[in-house]
């Protein structure tokens, strides 16, 4: 499998969380991320007061995620949109119905119509109070991927002595083995609970 260009940013960010270590290849990091990825489709919730920013509730995202416009004839000035968004079951039913009834909905142009922050999943539109937007892409449990990468890295390192001691000037300093340190980093990322850029 080749490295997808849309994964470059996530791979670079994951490697930075590994303190720049190059033991794991880009392909290995992409595989780790893919094991923690899933396709997402989220109705965007416009935020007050100007309603030009829209929360998706997902992220981080692969760089090829796109925003689609739901045909305006369905929701002309619908002010209960936020209530629908809050009802996950209703949102799922709506998305299913839209994909069934509108097989050819086209993505908005970018950056003319919107900008997307793939880390937070927040979409910004220049048009005020634009509702009925759908985000489709692939979302990743980034902290879980970080933990997985540190564990894989740990087991590529020699266990060595569990504790190494260095004495200088009459003081003794203890160091955990490289493997123990890597496993501790994995545990730290796993303890962050659910959240990508925002999961385990």
* Per-residue DSSP letter, 3: P
State the Cα–Cα distance between residues 92 and 2, nearest whole angstrom.
33
Output the pTM of the full model.
Answer: 0.75
Residue 109 confidence (pLDDT): 77
Q: What is the DSSP string of 56-110?
A: -S--SB-TT-EEEEPPTTT-TT-TTHHHHHH-HHHHHHHHHHHHHH-TTPPBPPT
Six token digits for residue 125: 């539109």
Decide the pairing of beta strands 45-46 and 122-124.
Answer: unpaired
One pLDDT digit (tens) per residue for the chain, 200 residues: 799 999 999 999 999 999 999 999 999 999 999 999 999 988 888 888 888 899 999 989 999 999 988 765 344 344 444 434 444 555 565 666 665 655 556 678 777 889 999 999 999 998 766 777 889 999 999 999 999 999 999 988 876 655 555 555 566 555 577 888 888 899 999 998 655 544 33
CB 130 within 8 A of CB 76: no
Q: Does residue 150 sit in helix, strand or coil? A: helix
Give the Å distances, CA to CA, from 38 to 59, 125, 137, 141: 11, 25, 9, 9
State the Cα–Cα distance between residues 153 and 80, nearest whole angstrom.
49
Residue 200 confidence (pLDDT): 37
Q: Does residue 24 sit in helix, strand or coil? A: coil
């Amino acid at each position: 499998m080749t490295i997808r260009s849309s994964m470059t940013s996530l791979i670079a960010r994951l490697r930075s969380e590994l303190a720049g270590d190059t033991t794991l290849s880009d392909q290995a990091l992409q595989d780790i991320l893919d094991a923690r990825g899933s396709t997402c489709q989220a109705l965007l919730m416009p935020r007050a007061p100007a309603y030009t920013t829209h929360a998706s509730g997902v992220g981080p995202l692969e760089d090829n995620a796109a925003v689609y416009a739901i045909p305006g004839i369905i929701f002309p000035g619908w002010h209960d949109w936020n209530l629908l968004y809050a009802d996950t079951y209703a949102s799922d039913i709506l998305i299913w119905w839209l994909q069934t009834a509108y097989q050819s909905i086209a993505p908005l142009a970018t950056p003319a119509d919107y900008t997307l922050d793939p880390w937070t999943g927040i979409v910004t539109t220049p048009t005020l109070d634009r509702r009925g937007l759908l985000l489709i892409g692939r979302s990743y449990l980034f902290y879980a991927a970080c933990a997985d990468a540190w564990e894989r890295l740990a087991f590529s390192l020699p266990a060595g002595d569990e504790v190494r001691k260095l004495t200088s000037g009459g003081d003794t300093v203890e160091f955990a083995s490289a493997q123990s340190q890597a496993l501790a980093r994995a545990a730290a990322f796993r303890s962050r609970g659910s959240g990508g850029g925002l999961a385990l």
